[in-house]
Structure 1
């Protein structure tokens, strides 16, 4: 692909749905597209995370006003929690990216991102912008504005902090600075080889009324976005609920709202709207030179459109395309030509796609591609060529027979691993690395395998792109489309991400390998100072596609081992080295996600003592704590309701509830008396943090306390030990200040207050400038047993291998046998 074609491909990327490869072509969609074709206006909505966007407003702007509408999310939502599974950090960000894309398919807007990483809750913009690297993220916002060219920019949050989250406030600060910077050719001039400076007309704040915070007022400009769209058979409150309900990892299923609903706006920069959001902006074809004739042609075609015979509009639409391609405004020429191309294909009854025979291929292998084309109305459309990954098949104006499915086969090379572009290299806490300017803003890799079709329609050559997909059929769901995977020849997954050494004994490191092609080679672990690895390598040969096998290395600590080392597996295949694992994320509401993370694990030397062995675990909203406990030798059993209600719990040294268990597990309200009975009879119950909103029972413990929305976000915040003699700080491990070093993302969240005197408050901590908080860890005796509630973020620390977090968590699990329990 030459440089010009690459730039074009990256700048103008078509959308893709895992339910189908072709865009909708129903009559309601065609009528909406005719209306959109006649509107030249754009609006960009800016906020910080997936779910921050106002889906009702986006749907209204995109499908009622027919503006080109976009949502720029600063982050992928990597730092949140997951109500569906145990994916965290980057993996959660990948899921939420796809949830946003699913939401946009409903409300009709487009999706963009910056390189900012959602590193967790931040209480102010100063911290956020420092960690994000303000200048880099600002450059991304400027790029999106210059590329998207919005007439109006709308912020979800203000710069003054009412949004509550430092990321929220930062998104508004960046939007405000970018509003001016995007128009200044001296700012980020390296972008100007691809885009031009752009000055939006105005920047507005979409004020809100959330909970106890009401920032709206009667004198603000307002729009009724609760209107009904008869073409869609829905109002925008209904569309908004469908869109927002795609945020399933956050539990944001929403009821459909109907009827009048006003959105309020405060002007931040630019002139204030008086009568319309686009006051002062010409959104008709008069916006471009000689646009009046185009507007007149669109009106004639729209009025004469026959829903029973849409193909009759094709000749006029093709002539219209010729006119649009001659306008001088490069931006609107590209946008409207793309819209018109799709409208012509839909009216012509033209359907086409390219799909592959297998779900995954190895880098360098051949991919068999099947392309199918059908012209449902006539034999007037001709196929000129199909190109896939630089491999072009020419058909020289081949006539497509009317309503007869045509199939064409081709073979192309798998030339690039399908790794999410922002995860190709290691990143800092605050920002991802972007491989090049043209990748910035894209929600997915813009250069994923795709097919380009060129048709001759009414004598005019028109090109279309379709993303390659793997298509298959299941007895339950019928026809399914999923993204194509291009993998390294062999992947190597290390069985655990952490190996905890608390003595000099060796451990077995198991590696699961998978071949994606015919392969010969070896697998080895890179040598590490302070560690002995046996054997040096394992050879393999004669492996074929789909083969899986395991090998086991023995890793032994030596006398001078470091506290933490990174173990890396290297598969040498046909003379080339690869150090990548494979991870699949599969949920019914989004496309399958495949990534190839580094084939690495941590070796962690911890002075760790363990008491007890058997742990009962009650799952919450998804965390990796059970796996971490198994890594250090615990027998962890995930308890069922039957076992809790009718079983003998006395055999468990401790029972632990997962994060947010009392928010997501309704049955805990019924099971709670049994758990407290277990404590009363001598058990040890450890409750991890819960959100203060939506608790299934008001009293989690034997005595009152209340979770509240308070947290300590500085992972290095000073810790004051309030109760030095408490067994949780002394048995079996002596906890000191050193055990709070190296924590990640945050100390804790949703601390507790209104704590009954029956509890001991063990630790005190606070973020800079805030009052000390004692609600991170409380313990209390109940009968013969011990109850513990902790808001410390163990669910992040243990998977990250934080030594002190392991030592403290083990203490929480370990109730002394012959000692009074505070």
Structure 2
């Protein structure tokens, strides 16, 4: 009989069921290290602002050498960063960086937490950061995570002052200190005490550093040598740290390992100063745990008996350890150590438990076939008592012996209440500084709790033990081999709008293309377009019929401005699919860079409609892609014909066929061939072409000769996207042809004005604009222009790569002027 169950389980302690554990991938050496770690009860929380802020060397050392339970709290998911491996920005980049962090923690052995703070871009002060985040909101998050994780020691990456170099960094240190003081006070955030108890860490430290010219270390600070070598693993801590840090691929943070001694320094912020160990005054053995007196002797017994050739021989002792741990009073520690013990039991006995689906998507209320696999690859007597797949429980009582794989198939029904597999922090639209989180118990989790699971109830050497496995989609790639991805709960139907932005320069109608896809059979309904009031839809409310799961259909809607385009408008069009009385308003986006699990997300089915009085000069554009951006699509919306230029085009092609060549962001950081192609590009300008180069970082340039005359790329930026723009040369052609640029064209910009501005520009360059952040001097290096031979050269740090995809009207007008040839 098929059964369905309520979808949500109580989440009183996210340490227990937040994520369904998968099979441990440990060899005999790792098993021994994990056994030693079971005998240590200390906890350390490392805290900073972004993915990649953490000291992976210290995390690896604390987790693997000292064997503390170690975690990194990144306040944001890095949504405002840049992307070296693709064109994803904003929340999509945040999803990628979340998975990068989880992969890094898998390597260095630490855990990962996040707050609801959103990385809104570079910030110069903590005051500005808190204006976006909400000081008390994120402080409550940090207090919550401390009370849940209960660290003995908290370590900050940054100081609580300007030396932090970034307002988010600065704010993270302030929050860490405040949370250290308040997490133990029951009068602070008392609503949390329904689920957790107050917790006071022993001390909070600042992990000082020597970055370039910034050296905050000193001989009088407490220090430890993390440059250890792990003989069992055949790897040094520096190698482990480098492998972990190199997972931050979107940020281009691949690094080489350090070998030999490496000292880390610490300044005490509050609590007692350490003299001999980070854990001075903390009992990190089981003797300090109420009810834990019997655990440590059993672990010592397991270590004494451990034989790397026969790890299964210690399973009986591990089962005794499990029984002893079940009796301790500390719920948080008990749950964590039970998880560690259960993973050791599986690893030592060679028990494998898997739950697979043969399809990537399923819809709530739909039938699903699940394959449950079990195998016992040891001499330990193991019985598969029962398997519970989404509420369907089958009593088996089957003995697992002889290294024989047992496959069982289950036809189950996904609960009708199952929500779509949308990251919990993206369920709702959110403001610029933080995510809306619907449930307090989700705060801190790096990902959604496992939704579709199978529970394997075993009896191992006579003792009942249960293991939960997330149901995964198993498939095979001819190059990569077996791939395991999360099984995705999809809506019945999705709608993907072809373009992120539709640009209107007149009242002429445009055809908006929308692709519908069904995820179950017999999906029929009406597609409705909700357009902004300034636009009209000619052929709204079209019927559709998708008879089978996986069917797609393409629909077209004619949308036009309701009146002549005489001023700029930017607003959102949304798609609503009416099916059986329900409103489906989501699209689907898949991010699959290959080095992290496939990410499936269901964004709102929306696009930007931008009406702007725009003139363009020229038609044919060559585009040199750098790190990745969506500017070419914006250029096509503006009416240009765009050709992407490869290395052969740049080296041998006819560049003069283009009215302008645009260079994508960070191209001179990422395309080594530009070192050799740059003379040809400058000759192209000299012979009458227009070259527009978007920002590059000020380090790692393949050539310093970016322009026909010298200038220097700096790290200067304008972080206030509302900063007033001063017209230093209002009559400059770049501000007048073919569009008259005014202050209104700088309204509605997002995240920042620009990055990596230039300075010390040769006198041949014109600098028509300046702007400044609060309490800072004006910068005039965001846009430089010069005539060179018969053509025009432009270098700009202004954020067109963000503004154009966001549908900012003035960005289109100004970019058209940059592209235009000499007036």
Task: Give the TM-score band, short-chain normalised.
Answer: over 0.9
Say yes or no: does 1:789 pair with 2:795: yes
Structure 1 unaligned spans of 5+: none
- The whole-number CA distance in structure 1 between the counterparts of 2:738 and 2:384 is 75
From 522, 525, 530, the equivalent of 1:521 is 525
Contact 1:85 1:623 in 2 (8 A): yes
Measured against aligned partners, the alpha-carbon deviations of 1:333-375 in whole angstroms (never above 9, x if no partner) come to 2121111111122222211110111111223322211110001
Aligned residues: 813
Question: Partner residue of 2:234?
Answer: 233
From 578, 588, 591, the equivalent of 1:572 is 578
- The whole-number CA distance in structure 2 between the counterparts of 1:319 and 1:654 is 74
Question: Partner residue of 1:208?
Answer: 209
Deviation at 1:387, TM superposition (A): 2.4
Question: Partner residue of 1:465?
Answer: 468
Deviation at 1:309, TM superposition (A): 2.1
3-state SS of paired residue (2:770): strand
Say yes or no: does 1:478 pair with 2:470: no
Measured against aligned partners, the alpha-carbon deviations of 1:503-536 in whole angstroms (never above 9, x if no partner) come to 1111110001111111222222125423221212
- The whole-number CA distance in structure 2 between the counterparts of 1:294 and 1:468 is 33
From 722, 725, 739, the equivalent of 1:719 is 725
Contact 2:495 2:514 in 1 (8 A): yes
- The whole-number CA distance in structure 2 between the counterparts of 1:749 and 1:514 is 39
Deviation at 1:643, TM superposition (A): 1.7
* Cα pair distance change 1:402/1:574, threshold 3 Å: farther
Matches within 5 A, 1:374-773: 374-378=375-379, 380-389=381-390, 391-395=391-395, 397-414=397-414, 415-518=418-521, 519-526=523-530, 528-559=532-563, 563-773=569-779
Deviation at 1:379, TM superposition (A): 6.3
Deviation at 1:52, TM superposition (A): 0.4
* Cα pair distance change 1:419/1:5, threshold 3 Å: closer
Contact 1:379 1:399 in 2 (8 A): no
Deviation at 1:116, TM superposition (A): 0.5
Contact 2:507 2:561 in 1 (8 A): yes
* Cα pair distance change 1:661/1:469, threshold 3 Å: same
Matches within 5 A, 1:125-164: 125-164=126-165
Measured against aligned partners, the alpha-carbon deviations of 1:275-332 in whole angstroms (never above 9, x if no partner) come to 0110000000111134332211111121012222222212222122111111122222
Matches within 5 A, 1:45-60: 45-60=46-61
Say yes or no: does 1:340 pair with 2:346: no
3-state SS of paired residue (2:388): strand
Matches within 5 A, 1:29-40: 29-40=30-41
Deviation at 1:542, TM superposition (A): 4.6
3-state SS of paired residue (1:759): coil
Measured against aligned partners, the alpha-carbon deviations of 1:434-467 in whole angstroms (never above 9, x if no partner) come to 1101111111101432222221122222121222
Deviation at 1:418, TM superposition (A): 0.4
Contact 2:57 2:237 in 1 (8 A): yes
- The whole-number CA distance in structure 1 between the counterparts of 2:361 and 2:6 is 26
Q: State the 4+ residue runs in structure 1 displaced beyond 6 angstroms.
A: 1-4
Deviation at 1:496, TM superposition (A): 1.0
Question: Partner residue of 2:87?
Answer: 86
* Cα pair distance change 1:12/1:188, threshold 3 Å: same
Measured against aligned partners, the alpha-carbon deviations of 1:106-155 in whole angstroms (never above 9, x if no partner) come to 00000000000000000010000111011111111111111100000000
Deviation at 1:233, TM superposition (A): 0.9
Matches within 5 A, 1:341-380: 341-378=342-379, 380=381
* Cα pair distance change 1:648/1:735, threshold 3 Å: same
Deviation at 1:25, TM superposition (A): 3.3
Say yes or no: does 1:7 pair with 2:8: no
Deviation at 1:573, TM superposition (A): 2.5
3-state SS of paired residue (2:293): helix
Q: Bigger shift: 449-458 or 35-44?
A: 449-458
How high is the TM-score relative to the length of structure 1? 0.97
Deviation at 1:2, TM superposition (A): 7.1
Matches within 5 A, 1:271-310: 271-310=272-311
- The whole-number CA distance in structure 1 between the counterparts of 2:37 and 2:289 is 16
- The whole-number CA distance in structure 1 between the counterparts of 2:639 and 2:383 is 67
Measured against aligned partners, the alpha-carbon deviations of 1:167-193 in whole angstroms (never above 9, x if no partner) come to 011111111100011111111111111
- The whole-number CA distance in structure 1 between the counterparts of 2:435 and 2:109 is 27
- The whole-number CA distance in structure 1 between the counterparts of 2:32 and 2:518 is 49
Deviation at 1:560, TM superposition (A): 8.2
* Cα pair distance change 1:715/1:297, threshold 3 Å: same
3-state SS of paired residue (1:637): strand
Contact 1:397 1:456 in 2 (8 A): no
Structure 2 unaligned spans of 5+: none
Q: Cα RMSD (Å) of the superposition?
A: 1.6
Deviation at 1:9, TM superposition (A): 7.0
- The whole-number CA distance in structure 2 between the counterparts of 1:630 and 1:453 is 54
3-state SS of paired residue (1:471): strand
3-state SS of paired residue (1:347): helix
Deviation at 1:742, TM superposition (A): 1.0
Question: Partner residue of 1:810?
Answer: 816
3-state SS of paired residue (1:272): coil
Measured against aligned partners, the alpha-carbon deviations of 1:778-818 in whole angstroms (never above 9, x if no partner) come to 111110111011110111110111111111011101114xx
Deviation at 1:5, TM superposition (A): 4.2
Contact 2:11 2:18 in 1 (8 A): no
Contact 1:43 1:67 in 2 (8 A): yes
Measured against aligned partners, the alpha-carbon deviations of 1:398-423 in whole angstroms (never above 9, x if no partner) come to 32233110011123334221011111
- The whole-number CA distance in structure 1 between the counterparts of 2:9 and 2:793 is 64
Contact 2:230 2:236 in 1 (8 A): yes
* Cα pair distance change 1:644/1:396, threshold 3 Å: closer
